[in-house]
Amino acid sequence: MSDRDQYAPGPAHTAQVRKDAEDKWTLILVRELRHAPEKVWQALTDPDHLREWAPYDVDRSLGTPGRVKLTWVGTAAPIDTQVTLADPPHILEFGDTRWELEPSDTGTRLTLWHKIDRRFITWGAAGWQIAFDVLDRLLDGRPIGRIAGPDAMNFGWKRLVDEYSQQFGTEAPQW
């Protein structure tokens, strides 16, 4: 049995939700990674690295400001978006997403802010938790391949959605 077949996410991590407007909320997730900010930055910006863990593909590096085509896993149409801030290896902003990397005693504290429709906040939290797990393994040199989109449902995604629904005090979406 492969490492991928044995993967199962742990319980829902502590996450925060900020209500920005009626339909748009910001999901805030923090993960401690055992690697230097420069290595994490490369995984966040390089298209080849992103294909290994992120729930989207891009047509160029995210490491510099400018236009980029972003395609979410499970969708066919790319989205034209803009990298509005790229301050290596500290801050990356594009579309509805902001990443902050802070050096920590053990490596990097990675913080994600993702603006998302309130109906899908628990789905996003569950998906990002799985993506962070895959990223952590990739950075450790133990890649298991991207787990995103419909594929995530085979790896504990539904359980995480329910746990995040309880954590956020929201109703779990109907399947």
Residue 175 has pLDDT above 70, yes or no: no
pLDDT, tens digit (0-9, with 9 covering 90-100), for 138-170: 999 999 999 999 999 999 999 999 999 999 988
Given a cut of 80, whether residue 133 has pLDDT beyond it is: yes
Closest by CA position to 104, among listed 9, 30, 10, 27? 30
pTM of the model: 0.94
Q: Is residue 43 within 8 Å of 136, Cβ to Cβ?
A: no
Residue 1 pLDDT > 90, yes or no?
no
Q: How far is CA 78 from the centre of its chain?
A: 18
Is the pLDDT reported for residue 173 higher than 70? no
Question: What CA–CA distance (Å, rounded) separates 151 from 138?
Answer: 18
What confidence category does residue 125 fall into, taking pLDDT thresholds of 50, 70 and 90? Answer: very high
Q: What is the pLDDT of residues 17-58, one digit of tens each?
A: 998 877 789 999 999 999 999 999 999 999 999 999 999 999
pLDDT band at 171 (very low <50, low <70, confident <90, very high): confident
Percent of the chain surpassing pLDDT 70: 97
- The rounded distance, in Å, linking the Cα atoms of 149 and 128 is 11
- Positive or negative: CA dihedral 59, 124, 102, 134: negative
How high is the pLDDT of residue 42? 98
Cα distances (angstroms) measured from residue 33 to each of 43, 61, 70: 12, 22, 25
